[in-house]
């Protein structure tokens, strides 16, 4: 079922109808190293978080990324694939490659610099030949569907929250609903200037949410989503959103990961709330990588 209005979502959703009974977190993660790290001017056309005027330090980005991989390995098995200077945004693989059990999905990217990533033979072979996953390839379709950048998924309930923008249209949303096998998808407009839902919303292991209200076009959408997870809802200020505090991920039921800058932006009561909800706050310095307009969650591909 796909709904586009808060009232439709509220009518469709109930805890009894959508129990949290599926695995909420991934069994492994994969990253793509920032080899030849640079800022893609094409992507900057609709990503206001990019620091295009700042210089990119490729060596520092590699150091940050290695530290991220090492930290994540303390939580889940984590694989790192090589990067390519010809695909500078590949450091954010979750927009291009995503999984459900037994199936790997390849996104339909808006920009040519990202469409080049979808042709990677090594990642396709990893999922299909090694893991034996069916490949669902959306990359050659005329719509735009940037996977778990545009789509925040409550894996435990089979519910997807899809932010419509230049990076995802309704046809793309429908294709992702089918590809991910979702039970319910709530599609809504992001606020002007926002490009991906995963910058303004995170669902943590199916039991809590981080929301940046000013990232949504309609307050009623925020209220509807928050109602699913209340009272475990962390609302972010505009400054915290800009610091990428919404670009967070739970890779296990007991920890939430975000960048060091994002974690530093949280107030003491917000940190205490996460702890009360059973989430240890884990962070890694990603200042250099964040110049490319994404943060920790964008760097992490999930293997279910």
Domain extents in the chain: 2-303
Q: What is the pTM of this model?
A: 0.95
Long-range contact set of residues 99-103: C-beta below 8 Å, sequence gap at least 24? 99/127, 99/133, 99/301, 99/302, 99/303, 99/304, 100/180, 100/181, 100/304, 101/304, 102/132, 102/133, 102/134, 103/133, 103/134, 103/135, 103/136, 103/179, 103/181
The confidence band for 55, taking pLDDT boundaries of 50, 70 and 90, is confident
The model's pLDDT over 78-124, given as tens digits with 9 standing for 90+, comes to 999 999 988 988 999 999 999 999 999 999 999 898 899 999 999 99
Count of CB atoms within 10 A of residue 17's CB?
Answer: 10
User: Given this structure, which CATH class describes domain 2-303?
Assistant: alpha beta
pLDDT attached to residue 50: 56
Residue-wise pLDDT tens digits, 17-52: 999 999 999 999 999 999 988 665 655 566 667 555
Q: Phi, psi (5° rounding) for residue 129?
A: -80, -40
């Amino acid at each position: 079922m796909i709904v586009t209005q808060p009232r439709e979502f509220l009518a469709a959703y109930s805890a009894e109808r959508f129990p949290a009974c599926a695995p909420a977190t991934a069994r492994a993660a994969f990253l793509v190293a920032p080899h030849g790290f640079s800022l893609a001017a094409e992507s900057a056309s609709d990503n206001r978080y990019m620091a295009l005027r700042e210089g990119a330090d490729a060596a520092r980005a590699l150091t940050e990324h290695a530290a991220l991989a090492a930290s994540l390995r303390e939580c889940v098995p984590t694989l790192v694939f090589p990067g390519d200077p010809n695909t500078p945004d590949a450091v954010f693989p979750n927009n291009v490659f995503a999984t459900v059990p037994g199936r790997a999905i390849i996104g339909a990217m808006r920009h040519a610099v990202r469409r080049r990533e979808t042709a990677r033979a090594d990642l396709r072979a990893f999922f299909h030949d090694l893991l034996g996953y069916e490949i669902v390839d959306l990359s050659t379709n005329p719509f735009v569907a940037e996977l778990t950048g545009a789509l925040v998924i409550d894996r435990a309930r089979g519910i997807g929250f899809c932010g419509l923008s230049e990076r995802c249209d309704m046809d793309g949303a429908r294709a992702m609903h089918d590809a991910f096998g979702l039970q319910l998808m709530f599609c809504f407009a992001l606020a002007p200037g926002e490009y991906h839902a995963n910058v303004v919303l995170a669902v943590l292991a199916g039991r809590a949410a981080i929301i940046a209200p000013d990232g949504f076009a309609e307050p009623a959408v925020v209220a509807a989503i928050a109602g699913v997870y209340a009272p475990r809802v962390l609302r972010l200020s505009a400054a915290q959103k800009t610091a990428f505090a919404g670009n967070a991920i739970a890779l296990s039921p007991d920890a939430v990961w975000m960048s060091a800058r994002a974690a530093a932006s949280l107030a003491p009561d917000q940190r205490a709330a996460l702890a009360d909800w059973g989430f240890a706050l884990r962070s890694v310095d990603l200042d250099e990588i964040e110049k490319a307009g994404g943060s920790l969650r964008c760097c992490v591909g999930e293997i279910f």
